[in-house]
Amino acid sequence: MRKIIANFEVPYLQILNENGKFDEKDLPKISEENLKKMYEFMILTRVFDDKAWKLQRQGRLGTYAQMKGQEACQIGSAFALEKNDLIFPAFRENGIFMIKGVLPEMLFRYWAGDERGMQIPSKINIFPISITVGSHLPHAVGAAMAFKYLEQKNVSVVYFGDGATSEGDFHEAMNFAGVYKSPCIFICENNQWAISVPVKEQTASQTIAQKAIAYGFPGIQVDGNDLFSVYKATSEAVARARKGEGPTLIECFTYRIGDHTTSDDSKRYRSENEVREWEKKDPIIRFENYLLQKKIINPALIGKIKSESEAQIERAVSLAESAKPQSPTEMFNYLYQDLTSNLKEQMEQSKRENKVITKNVGASERAVENAGVVGELEEA
Amino acid sequence: MSNMNMVEALNDALRLEMKRDKNIVLIGEDVGEEGGVFRVTDGLAKEFGNERVMDSPLAESGIVGTSIGMAVVGLKPICEIQFEGFIFPAIDQLVSHASRIRNRSRGRFSVPMVVRCPIGGGIKALEHHSDSPESYFVHTPGLKVVMPSGPYDAKGLLTSAIRDPDTVIFFEPKKIYRAIKEEVPSESYAIPLGKAHVIKEGKDVTLIAYGAWVKTAKEVVEQMKNVDIELIDLRTLSPLDTETIIDSVQKTGKCVIVQESPRTLGLASEIIARINEKAFYSLEAPIERVTGFDTIVPLRLHEEYYLPSVEKISNAIEKVMKNAKGLS
Ligand SMILES: Cc1ncc(C[n+]2csc(CCOP(=O)(O)OP(=O)(O)O)c2C)c(N)n1
Ligand SMILES: [Mg+2]
């Protein structure tokens, strides 16, 4: 006997298409005030991103991972969450950090190489950046398992790229989430590239969304450059999770407009044509046109929002750069709750050495430049 | 002969070996068209084709695990792990399998492969891009661990690693990927694994370094004209060349060891233990070690405070010299 014992479908959602067309009845209910807020965050994120890029070029930040083009994925999804929901970001989620209330000056400090930039205020429920690709997915599932155990109605939300879906941790996390029916939302920002590897070479699956099927819960692909689709899919996933119906995987189909990081040169592996095609689908412009059409904003207001964002980001840069440097011995303070005697001894040694080092820091900066390594570091 | 940096020398070794043996394949993240994020495999996909130079999915356990499979049936995989901080998803494959298959099968199967991986700090990078985890691998029976200190050594040692019958973890100190240029022969040559290199003979104190810190140690030798330093580059971290170390310490009676990794259970710990076992009575002063702290490597702005330096090494040498006088 041979018969079909299971059938699966992979849904796709697009509400506001690349030509600005939409069906009124598909639109999620969002107040005008919130629509404006979402737009403001998209602009703020874009201004931050552009500024960070420039600062890196001037040597004022270290390696930076741009998110240009992915604003709808981040703003659209984060807006569908409640304050107590816990977010586990990867390393390209600056927009999410800002929506959650992390100030841009904190982010600038982090990217400049100051650990305090990731000392998130206790009221803000977002985990620090996670650089080892895919490794943070199980944490999100664990947090969701805890929410369930503690009978809290929160959900956890984890962000990751298309590349991350190849890591074992992705599969283990998805499986756990399915088995324990955890209130966890998996948001894959499929930006088509993992450094130089296109998604076609990353997986033989037709979609990333369908990977959820194997683990027994729904997956959906959405137009990741359409804020409404992302918002709606996330809201539905959150509602499901809060009702105890378990996890959802949302694949946001989008594009990384910038290089992988400031150390990468994407011209080596992808055509500029491809980038230009995607630039036409810019999520901010698409949303902006909608808001203009609905008369929720007008050109004067757009100008005002942009200049206010620029002013805020400039202020953030000067706040970040004028902050008192942390003490070099801070590296000893967060290994354990209490300093061990071994670390205490090493800290004292470090204090004696630091007098010499402070004198020489300029020289070693130059040495690194001479090594030419920095320019070659093609990495997050 | 041509003047090369370490990236070019490694690339040269790979190219020559791939020409010699068509069963050599490369696999790793972005090693194909991109040529690796540090460009070590630049041009190889073009020259040898995508079947021999494979861009892998983003999965380190997959890269190393499949390489083990390829190796046991007769290929010679050379895999690349993009940064030392990303080798850990593959640690199960390395510790539970690559290192043990020869033993488990009583010699029927073996895993002749090379795992190339950039290592260490000094490039002011993000978290997980500045670590020195070599001890985990040195501590694993059945793995060989190599770390070159410059272009000439890099080419010769990688060639040996490729020809070796066992699994070799080949750590490439990224701080010196482009910082040192040396004359490198254009033909193939092999520098034996398991042998340290006495870079400069001296009678006062043995200075042991490896990887990026050999360059710094050389600067110390240059600067400290009043001390006759014997400088040893370990080249291979496992198996460790005990003999060269012991011979030297028996002569000088003093020793300073430089290691970037956290202090506890770093290479220096093992070297000190071996000296204690084999040359204790030759010692004129306690051995000093210049190491990273038992902390996470700070990010860009404070990395400097963590790393060894000319000053830290010189101070250690002065201390050993002073202590030796005190004892005699
Ligand atoms: C475990 C691990 N392996 C390799 C890397 C190096 N690396 C950083 S980002 C990246 C590509 C990530 O691609 P994707 O998951 O699609 O995210 P994107 O960068 O596109 O946002 C790689 C290979 C890493 N950070 N972690
Ligand atoms: Mg991607």
Q: Mind listing the pLDDT tens digit for each residue in A193-238?
A: 999 999 999 999 999 999 999 999 999 999 999 999 999 999 999 9
A300 and A341 together in one domain = no
pLDDT at A354: 83
Residues with pLDDT less than 50, chain B: none
Distance B176 CA to ligand 2 centre (A): 30
A250 and A350 together in one domain = no
A110 and A23 together in one domain = yes
Would the CB atoms of A131 and B128 count as touching at under 8 Å?
yes
Distance A162 CA to ligand 1 centre (A): 9
For chain B, which residues make up each domain, given as ranges?
2-184, 197-327
Testing ligand 1's pocket by substitution, the residue of A92, A160, A195 carrying the most ligand atoms inside 8 A of its CB is A195
Say which amino acid occupies A360. Answer: N
Which chain A residues are closer than 8 Å to B178 by Cβ? 371-373, 376
A217 and A341 together in one domain = no
The whole domain housing A47 covers: 12-321
pLDDT at A355: 76
A222 and A336 together in one domain = no
Residues with pLDDT less than 50, chain A: 362-380
DSSP letter string, A267-302: GGTS-HHHHHHHHTT-HHHHHHHHHHHTTSS-HHHH
* CATH hierarchy code of domain B197-327: 3.40.50.920
A27 and A123 together in one domain = yes
Nearest atom of ligand 1 to the alpha carbon of A167: 1
User: Distance between CA A366 and CA B28 in Å, rounded?
Assistant: 32
Ligand positioned closest to the Cα atom of B80: 1
Residue A197 touches chain B, beta carbons under 8 Å: yes
Which chain B residues are closer than 8 Å to A116 by Cβ? none
What are the φ/ψ torsions at residue A156 (nearest 5 degrees)? -110, 150
A334 and A307 together in one domain = no
| A3 in any annotated domain | no
pLDDT at A368: 42
Q: Which of A306, A321, A336 delimits the end of a domain? A: A321
Would the CB atoms of B302 and A331 count as touching at under 8 Å?
yes
A351 and A220 together in one domain = no
How many helices (H) and strands (E) chain B has is answered by 11, 14
| A50 in any annotated domain | yes
Distance A85 CA to ligand 2 centre (A): 24
Residue A364 touches chain B, beta carbons under 8 Å: yes
Q: Which of A321, A348, A365 delimits the end of a domain? A: A321
Residues B100, B104, B105, B109, Cα dihedral to 10°:
-10
pLDDT at B326: 79
Per the structure block, which two tokens stand in for A271?
């055509």
User: Distance between CA B138 and CA B311 in Å, rounded?
Assistant: 28
Ligand positioned closest to the Cα atom of B83: 1
Residue matched to tokens 């000893």: A332
The pTM for the full model equals 0.95
A57 and A168 together in one domain = yes
The strands making up B53-55's β-sheet, listed across from edge to edge, are: B53-55, B24-28, B76-80, B114-119, B168-173, B144-146, B236-238
Q: From the list B122, B126, B296, which residue is nearest A380 (CB)?
A: B126
Same fold, B2-184 and B197-327: yes
CATH at residue A279: 3.40.50.970
Structural domains of chain A, count: 2
Contact (Cβ atoms closer than 8 angstroms) between residue A282 and residue A20: no
User: What rounded mean pLDDT belongs to chain B?
Assistant: 97
What are the φ/ψ torsions at residue B236 (nearest 5 degrees)? -110, 130
Contact (Cβ atoms closer than 8 angstroms) between residue B174 and residue B222: no
User: Distance between CA A297 and CA A293 in Å, rounded?
Assistant: 8
- CA distance to partner chain A, nearest, from residue B25 (Å): 18
Would the CB atoms of A326 and B59 count as touching at under 8 Å?
no
pLDDT tens track for B97-111: 999 999 999 999 999
Residue A166 touches chain B, beta carbons under 8 Å: yes
| A5 in any annotated domain | no
A108 and A187 together in one domain = yes
CATH superfamily of domain region B2-184: Thiamin diphosphate (ThDP)-binding fold, Pyr/PP domains (3.40.50.970)
- Residue A378's H or E segment, with its range, is none
Measured between CA atoms, the residue of chain A closest to residue B37 is: A378
Which chain B residues are closer than 8 Å to A137 by Cβ? none
Residue nearest to atom 17 of ligand 1 (CA): A161
Choosing from B128, B129, B197, B302, the catalytic residue is B129
Testing ligand 1's pocket by substitution, the residue of B82, B84, B131 carrying the most ligand atoms inside 8 A of its CB is B82
What would you report as the CA-atom Rg of chain A, rounded to the nearest whole angstrom?
A: 22
A199 and A344 together in one domain = no
Distance A133 CA to ligand 1 centre (A): 5
| A244 in any annotated domain | yes
For residue A314, give Cα distances in angstroms to A52, A273, B26: 11, 33, 46
Contact (Cβ atoms closer than 8 angstroms) between residue B235 and residue B153: yes
A42 and A189 together in one domain = yes
Would the CB atoms of B30 and A196 count as touching at under 8 Å?
yes
HSE-CB at B165 with a 13 A cutoff on CA atoms is: 6
User: Distance between CA A34 and CA B176 in Å, rounded?
Assistant: 52
Per the structure block, which two tokens stand in for B139?
């501590």
Per the structure block, which two tokens stand in for B188?
């193939």
